[in-house]
Amino acid sequence: MATTIHVGLPRRELGDEVAAALGSQGLDVEIVDEGETCALEVRYATDEHERLVSDVTAALEAWLGTQTIPLVVEPADGGFVLRPPAG
């Protein structure tokens, strides 16, 4: 059974945004309504490829954040390309 952690949120309207942010980091998130508040049940995504893609994206974006090079991370052919931002 996958390990799950509980994340309580003070307001229900934060649930979707926080769930999306965690989901973009390769986590599987379920929103649990608790009246005016809500909680998230968070676990690792079961697909190793999804987790790898998420971790590589985060690492590349973190590295780019320390650089003065104007590049963005773009998915390409099952991997990534670093390219100048559009327009």
pLDDT digits (tens, 9 = 90+) for 5-39: 999 999 888 999 999 999 888 789 999 987 778 89
Q: Is the pLDDT of residue 1 over 70?
A: no
Q: Is 81 left (phi over 0), alpha (psi -120 to 50) or beta?
A: beta
Domain of residue 33: give its range: 5-44
For the chain, how many structural domains are there in total? Answer: 2
The whole-number pLDDT of residue 53 equals: 84
Q: 0.85 exceeded by the pTM?
A: no
Cα–Cα distance measured from residue 5 to residue 60, given in angstroms and rounded to the nearest whole number: 26
The whole-number pLDDT of residue 34 equals: 75
> Are 35 and 55 members of one domain?
no
- Amino acid identity of residue 87, one-letter, is G
Write out pLDDT tens, residues 50-74. 778 888 888 999 999 999 999 999 9
> Are 54 and 38 members of one domain?
no
Name the β-bridge partners of 44: 27
CA-wise closest residue to 54 among 20, 85, 87: 20
> Are 57 and 40 members of one domain?
no
Please count the residues of the chain: 87
